Amino acid sequence: MSSRIAATFARLAEEGRCALMPFLSVGYPERDSVLELAPALIRGGADLLEIGMPFSDPLADGATIQRTTEIALRNGITPTDCLETIKALRASGVEVPLLLMGYINPMFQYGIERFVAAAAAAGADGFIVPDLPPEEADEFHAATKQHGLDLVFLLAPTSTDERIRQVAELSSGFVYCVALKGVTGARSELASDLGAFLERVRQATDLPRAVGFGISRPEHVAQVARMAEGAICASALLDYIGSLEPSARVAGAETFVRELREAADAA
């Protein structure tokens, strides 16, 4: 059975295009912003979307996502609200793959099996959980398998070749390649050793490689498009949305993603 995520990567591969996967924080800037912003990102050319669940202590995140999640929590966002957001996006006709990205404890409190089942029913396609390495993921893995969803694991430049092989074997949909040593956040340049890292991943797995952390500008996306199958953009997009007047956010987000799309397709 091919998941919607796998099918999307397969189609893009045939078209010779790099997947573009922007990220939104549920509840940022306003409580229901994602319902307007997500369709705008898709109009701009997003192939998949990451839907961020807020957590009080996001230790893998830099200043931007710390701030957006703090605002989301102030806006009262709960895991249930995140599931409702997915459901509402599907009801409004959104068809691209939707991945829930969040820290493990809120999902654990909801109940792993119950959360995965509810996410599947809401129309989610997969999960990215930055503080859940495969070693601790047995229950989560079983639940996603049962409900036909993908559990995407992360790989880092510090991962050994052996570890890359082991993690990729357990990952499904794609592998999330962390582009740098560090936390999330906009950067001015990509790490110089990114290509070598992505090549090591290529040697270990046939899964699509999506690159995130620090992917901030059209030229970064163009570089990633030449080396990998997907580009993820989060902090820079949220910084930009946050800098706009409320009335300009939807159009601005669309334009921001369109520029990334054009850079990816021109690469």
Paired with 98 in beta bridges are 49
The nearest distance, CB 19 to another protein, in angstroms, is 20
In angstroms, what is the minimal distance from the CB of 170 to another protein? 12
CA trace torsion 47, 53, 54, 57 (10° rounding): -100
CA distances, 130 to each of 15, 90, 133 (Å) = 30, 25, 8
Distances in Å between the Cα of 263 and the Cα atoms of 35, 45, 222, 259 are 26, 11, 5, 6
Look up 61 and say whether it is catalytic.
yes
User: At 146, is the secondary structure helix, strand, or coil?
Assistant: helix
**Whole-number Å distance between alpha carbons of 221 and 262:** 9
Choose the catalytic residue: 61, 125, 150, 254: 61
For residues 97 and 77, give the distance between their C-alpha atoms in angstroms, rounded to a whole number.
22
| Radius of gyration of the CA atoms of the chain, in A | 17
* Phi, psi torsion values for 201, nearest 5 degrees: -65, -40
Tell me whether residue 156 or residue 244 sits nearer to another protein (CB atom). 156
Cβ of residue 161: shortest distance to another protein, in angstroms? 11
Compare residues 191 and 244 and give the one whose CB is closer to another protein: 191
Closer Cβ to another protein, 70 or 262, answer by number: 70
CB of 105 to another protein, least distance (A): 4
Residue 165 burial (CB < 10 Å; 0-12/13-18/19+)?
Answer: middle
CB of 259 to another protein, least distance (A): 28
Q: Which is nearer to another protein, 89 or 107 (CB)?
A: 107
Type of residue at 55: F
Of 149 and 178, the one with the shorter C-beta distance to another protein is: 178
Residues near another protein (CB under 8 A) are 55-60, 62, 66, 73, 78-79, 104-110, 130-133, 135-136, 153-160, 163, 167, 178, 181-183
**For this structure, is 206 an active site residue?**
no
Catalytic positions, please? 50, 61
